[in-house]
Structure 1
């Protein structure tokens, strides 16, 4: 739909004012942590110069000033792009408002500021929702709009601002619009409402990390990296062998052991973990080694889901937490969306929230017992005491990169920071955990998989810290994959990893790989695509695979296709996981169905990192649905089609259904255990990182002041915080409900033991409509297409 000149002008004005608003806000924050050699009065000029001369991200930086000047404009652009996207995504029926009673105008530090008094929270279109008083929080982006005109925010808003302070129903906003002066002189009660748009706490934390970066002992090494000096083999071997070898370490293969050794002996370590190569296992062993050496360890990842996976694999280190020792996990209680078009760095699509989710602190131990402590966080003193008690004595902390800037984490000192999935975060986010005491950093990721999600037009922020450093420091690559059937790993290994991966497991599969030319027609809904024929095919396919696999997932590059699949009753009733490709990185299932959707224009499919993720999630079977004619127009997809055609792995739906029907065996049963053991023995050969590596590894190319109280601005405004603290005997879980940055009382204490299980009902079916194959063709399929 084409916009009118008036509508276009209004949207452009909103974008311009948002740029000014963000700059004003960041200039105010600059005073909290000024950088030597950069004056606050320079900040506007630095940004303006960046719009005229495109310099891009460098591999090396000579000074903090040069580093700051590079990333400051990029953070502003990304913050603004995120706000604009959130504004466009708000649906009229989900607008969250507070009716305004009065305005009070004041001029503050070169920017317009306004005090707004409101009544209570109202959600339009939902009369059943309970009101929540004073729901907006510092860091929220809000708009002032006339009552009844919330159907088009960009067109009808009067002013927008960032909440910088709050007391009950009274908010302080910084705004770029001078019309707030006129509003303050009117009797406005009943005429205007305050509308929630977005939240920029994550962006603010990235900006504050940039300001504080010069305080880090690792700053010089990260700006101007130099290849590490190799440690003497004898010294390293003796240190590990004599004092700290445990069962977990013994189970690692050569590359995994070398990764652990490197992390113990140098301040900066880069580890590349291709799909299924056991990076989580390696990180767990790393944690074990650091804890045994008495170090304080902070483990981070861009998303709550990635952090959960690290905590779940705690069997290697949990037994070290005895007496008063604790491990702590801070996380969001609200389930995280596995949506490819949503950033793992920021909280998206929050405009439909009615009530702010609670924050949690979970305390855990080696027995796995957990307690939930819910806190009404309106009492600074009591909340601070509870958090301090939970964190006291904790030598191991897990949280997201953004949460590392919260007061609960930032005031604690750490010796080591481990960042997993680092290639999925922008560099300013990756440096958030680097506090003054951190002198050792381990970055784990894979530049051949998904990059950070970026909303701004520039691609500069898509270069992760790992990728930039890898231009100078060669990462250690974990080279043995234990997940996939060899037919599945073959193409990704050859195409994305130069054939350097070893298959560490031998699996049987009735259909390792299959490409079905489904055709159909792609259709559009708002900004995403879907393909009804592929959905129909999946419905028909399910009866043939439900009794063959213990776990099944359907993944697609497109949000709309994912939504339509996830609400399909035939799929829901079978408890099958549905996700975008982006939301499924790091996960695996026995069988993966890849719905490519497109029949016209290659679109998302030309992102080869997304393609790599899609092809490497399955253990036994990958079934790709797509338009072969279209796929062959892309260079890499054409190579995949040729690879599958050579191995007779392109088939019709009837061929696929018949082969699946003829086998009744559940995949995973009757594996060749002796061959698996042989592979593992080879991988576990007792070699040590040598001074002269046998083969040169490929270099991948590709917020807040520390206080004794709770800083509500630094706690995530919309996520649920949880801290899991573990000792030898029990684990506690404390829930923090974030309300007002003033006094509070504990409202409820819940003691519980949590655990999750999942199961899939097997539904065996026959194929009444299957065609009859020629005997010769059947033999060919038996021999080549469906290798046993």
Structure 2
């Protein structure tokens, strides 16, 4: 029988991964975690280009394993004692039970396992609500973990969950790896056994039970490792390594769209968005599109999908065709399955007979309030493609899917319709659940079950999933893994922004060597062409001014009428203007005991007073959909949440949205209060110095961004120094001393009223550092204030309170 080579390759990669990870000694990792820097001498820094696959793997594989170590030790970094984990920090504890027959089978087969990896099924018992999932890393011991790990067990080893069915686990166990001496008095090293071998043997002698702790989930990093090891088999591996294309797309090779669709794009898209879509149709293998905050990345994605799904491929020269690395023919069993899908009447019941339309619904998209309708394909269309859309987070997935369902896409005649979409990933938002893979599969199986009662056959889970995916035109999923299904558009379009926050890297060592460098950023640094979206539709021009100059070479421009749309009544007070920096120069940072985080109670106090004054004067801001408080540090966020809970009780979440800067990437609010926290003379500002975190923090606001921090401390960083100087030059820098309430007294607020602020354009505001807290001195440099009955402008799509605004 033919074998799927890609599946074998994935399995080889997972086996290699397990041999490294499962061979580690957990408690030795705990003891050595503070000395990892000494062991980093063999690590290589990430480069922009590589000579070959071996050099690429030699760089990234060791860094990936450093990241695995950091994930395994994350609990300890969060404040555990050196000798082990405190009670309550354990993620999940339970017992594994193995029958006597199974134990004998294990030990008999030990010598047959050439690679040292065992795959064994065990039963487990737990009263915990949290479940065990695929690729969870477990720590096994023959001794119970009483009240946490107070002392090192005598026998222990790692295991990785292969899969779970009800109360049974299939585990990967490694008989190699780090060894222990069973008989210390014997000099013969042949008496050494692996930790897993000793664990299995000793557990059998006791009660055939293993006590287990779930350490962490390695699901994401396993996928990353499989992807890393597959680089050598990619048809565009040379491009991945060198960041340059030998054959760039030309106009005569570009895909073509109809004149009607072209005219439609001219009407609704700006110049840079149209250029991005043209690049997506250019027949280049990789297309990079950079989208700064508020520049319409999601709208560009929808436009690209409309273009790709309804474009006509240009005539490609034969010499070009010979250079394309095509996939080998699928194995015969897979071809049989495809034939069965294509001609179901030859193999049994026709799946189409199972579909029972309900109220105009085609059976795949149950109506859930979005009024989803079946796709109608024009019979004259001669070419059809399927598109895979990937995103780095569940919320980003849901945003794209929701926009697809809400607005639909346009065909070649500019007719709007909803394409058949399947969303793959965990925890779909309720508004897009109707097109999630699990929902569609269950719906289809239920229909098949009803039909089966009448004599038709149903179908196993895998075949139903395959059928649902085969019928989809657009597949949206969290990771780039097409599961063996082919997609027609031979190009990769990457849409992102390297000067916003990247994927989180836990290991400081891996981060230091560049493991957090995205493929987009690496290509950009290597000189690969990037199409930038340049027109922003989110921020007041005064907010846009600084990030445009500091991070985007001043290429950002404002959408039509964006200033009027973001002008607000509170702008008549300079301290509530579009862009303000409040210098709490007497504030002090502190570090809660046993944590690596920081808090600043003075900034919390000032922000609370500011908030109270704000909502007293402008009632419309008393809503979490309008106003947010953000901070780089989790403990500062918790402190804000506690203080607001003390004031507003259980309703606190409804009046203000509080979260970390990282958690707010991709979101927006009308007003954002940004607490920087760090205030010291010589300790520095930690990861607040990451300019990407700074950029995300100040671009969350549409009408007002109010930054609270210590100017003296923040000036130690170049970007923060530039921001403070920008605020001083524009007359929106305020020094604040205790008592903070006096700053917002009626008398002081009256002195800070702007005489003419309607045309608040950054270039027209005079330079004054406001040293004496006398903003009235700068009033003559502004123009005119907004009317009280201001226009809030059109809101972006929001799928839930405060979320799904695109970035």
State the TM-score, normalizing by the size of structure 1. 0.66
- Of structures 1 and 2, the larger Rg is shown by 2
Determine whether 1:396 maps to 2:470. Answer: no
- The aligned runs of 1:370-769 (5 Å cut-off) are 373=443, 382-401=460-479, 404-405=480-481, 409-416=482-489, 439-456=490-507, 457-458=509-510, 459-470=513-524, 471-504=526-559, 505-506=562-563, 507-509=566-568, 510=571, 511-518=577-584, 519-525=586-592, 526-546=595-615, 547=619, 549=621, 551-567=626-642, 568-569=644-645, 570=647, 572-600=652-680, 601-651=684-734, 652=736, 654-655=742-743, 658=746
Residue in 2 that maps onto 1:172: 171
CA–CA separation in structure 1 for the residues paired with 2:548 and 2:628: 22
Quote how far apart the aligned CAs of 1:610 are: 0.8
Residue in 1 that maps onto 2:50: 61
Residue in 2 that maps onto 1:685: none
Cα 1:324–1:647 change in 2 (3 A) is closer
Cα 1:273–1:617 change in 2 (3 A) is same
Would the aligned equivalents of 1:288 and 1:316 in 2 still touch at CA under 8 Å? no
Quote how far apart the aligned CAs of 1:299 are: 0.8
Q: 390, 407, 410: which one pairs with 1:300? A: 390
Report the 3-state secondary structure (helix = DSSP H, G, I; strand = E; otherwise coil) of the residue aligned with 2:486.
coil
CA–CA separation in structure 2 for the residues paired with 1:657 and 1:270: 51
Cα 1:63–1:154 change in 2 (3 A) is farther
- The aligned runs of 1:66-215 (5 Å cut-off) are 66-86=55-75, 92-93=87-88, 94-102=90-98, 104-105=106-107, 106=110, 108-111=113-116, 113=118, 115=120, 117-123=122-128, 135-145=131-141, 146-152=143-149, 155-156=152-153, 158-164=156-162, 168-169=167-168, 171-175=170-174, 176=177, 178-185=194-201, 186-189=204-207, 192-215=210-233
Residue in 2 that maps onto 1:340: none
Would the aligned equivalents of 1:363 and 1:371 in 2 still touch at CA under 8 Å? no
Q: How many residues of Structure 1 are paired with residues of Structure 2 in the alignment?
A: 586
Would the aligned equivalents of 2:10 and 2:226 in 1 still touch at CA under 8 Å? no
Residue in 2 that maps onto 1:250: 267
Report the 3-state secondary structure (helix = DSSP H, G, I; strand = E; otherwise coil) of the residue aligned with 2:476.
strand
Report the 3-state secondary structure (helix = DSSP H, G, I; strand = E; otherwise coil) of the residue aligned with 1:410.
coil
Residue in 1 that maps onto 2:379: none
CA–CA separation in structure 2 for the residues paired with 1:659 and 1:489: 31
Q: 326, 333, 355: which one pairs with 2:427? A: 333
RMSD, aligned CA: 4.3
Quote how far apart the aligned CAs of 1:224 are: 2.2
Quote how far apart the aligned CAs of 1:659 are: 9.6
Would the aligned equivalents of 1:159 and 1:179 in 2 still touch at CA under 8 Å? yes
Cα 1:364–1:605 change in 2 (3 A) is closer
Report the 3-state secondary structure (helix = DSSP H, G, I; strand = E; otherwise coil) of the residue aligned with 2:731.
coil
Report the 3-state secondary structure (helix = DSSP H, G, I; strand = E; otherwise coil) of the residue aligned with 1:528.
coil
CA–CA separation in structure 2 for the residues paired with 1:325 and 1:633: 52
Which 5+ residue runs of structure 2 have no aligned equivalent? 1-6, 23-38, 79-84, 179-193, 312-383, 450-457, 572-576, 762-771, 787-807
Structure with larger RCO (C-alpha < 8 A, sep 6+): 1
Quote how far apart the aligned CAs of 1:258 are: 0.3
Report the 3-state secondary structure (helix = DSSP H, G, I; strand = E; otherwise coil) of the residue aligned with 1:286.
helix
CA–CA separation in structure 1 for the residues paired with 2:703 and 2:470: 45
Whichever structure has more strand as a proportion of its residues is 1
CA–CA separation in structure 1 for the residues paired with 2:567 and 2:116: 67
Report the 3-state secondary structure (helix = DSSP H, G, I; strand = E; otherwise coil) of the residue aligned with 1:630.
helix
Quote how far apart the aligned CAs of 1:119 are: 4.2
CA–CA separation in structure 2 for the residues paired with 1:197 and 1:214: 32
Report the 3-state secondary structure (helix = DSSP H, G, I; strand = E; otherwise coil) of the residue aligned with 1:92.
coil
Cα 1:219–1:274 change in 2 (3 A) is same
Whichever structure has more helix as a proportion of its residues is 2
Would the aligned equivalents of 1:541 and 1:657 in 2 still touch at CA under 8 Å? no
